[in-house]
Amino acid sequence: MGFLYCCLFLMTNAVVGFVLGRVVPKRWFNPARGIFQCFPFEKEGKIYEKLGIRFWQNRVPDMSKWFPNLMPPKALKQNAAQQLPVMLQETCVAEAVHLWVGILGFFCLHFLPTLGGVMIALVHFVFLNLPFILIQRYNRPRLLRLYRTMQTRKENYLARADFDLCNGAGA
């Protein structure tokens, strides 16, 4: 019975985490602060390349493909400058949800306080949550870099346009 309750707890925890990830205000998540910032040891996400993340990140299940109406698309389009802030916040939401669900998964030991329960909780965290946390931590610095580059180009363009207008160019 403990095994069944443990599995039911893990599934319920995952569903609640998914729902919370969709309803929590995105403005609560800042990709450049707190646990979501890139730490020096991560080397702008390059540390994850040693894990081969570039090759396996697109092979794991993607909720945005299963629920396209509930989650924003991951491909950048023409309006990338408007999409990037949302995508950055979504990486924070995904990381927070997987961290929450993964850590709470260890509470299944309440239902199955055996070595089997420990193994279930570890497998749940290591294989069903940790890869998704790593993917977010790998992609976020790259998206931040792209966003900052686009902002700099926009500022430079506007500065040149102001200069041209002030000097009577284009008149």
Kindly state the tokens that stand for 26: 């995105």
Q: Kindly state whether residue 56 falls inside one of the protein's structural domains.
A: yes
As a whole-number percent, the residues of the chain with pLDDT over 70 amount to 90
CA distance 87 to 71: 10
pLDDT for position 80: 73
Q: Is the pLDDT of residue 167 over 70?
A: no
Average pLDDT, the chain: 88
How many structural domains does the chain have?
A: 1
pLDDT for position 65: 76
| pTM (predicted TM-score) | 0.85
pLDDT tens profile 88-103: 999 999 999 999 999 9
CA distance 125 to 103: 7
Which has the higher per-residue pLDDT, 97 or 151?
A: 97
pLDDT for position 73: 65
Q: Kindly state whether residue 138 falls inside one of the protein's structural domains.
A: yes
Angle between helices 2-23 and 80-104 (to 10 degrees): 160
Terminal C-alpha separation, the chain: 81
Residue positions counted in the chain: 171
pLDDT for position 66: 81
Q: Is the pLDDT of residue 149 over 70?
A: yes
CA distances from 1 to 7, 111, 118 (A): 10, 8, 16
CB-based burial label for 81 (10 Å; 0-12, 13-18, 19+): middle
Q: Kindly state whether residue 89 falls inside one of the protein's structural domains.
A: yes
pLDDT tens profile 110-122: 999 999 999 999 9
Q: Kindly state whether residue 171 falls inside one of the protein's structural domains.
A: no
Which has the higher per-residue pLDDT, 72 or 141?
A: 141
Question: What is the amino acid identity at position 146?
Answer: L
Cβ–Cβ under 8 Å, residues 11 and 117? no
Which has the higher per-residue pLDDT, 72 or 38?
A: 38
Domain extent for 156: 2-166
Cβ–Cβ under 8 Å, residues 72 and 124? no
Q: Kindly state whether residue 98 falls inside one of the protein's structural domains.
A: yes
CA distance 45 to 67: 27
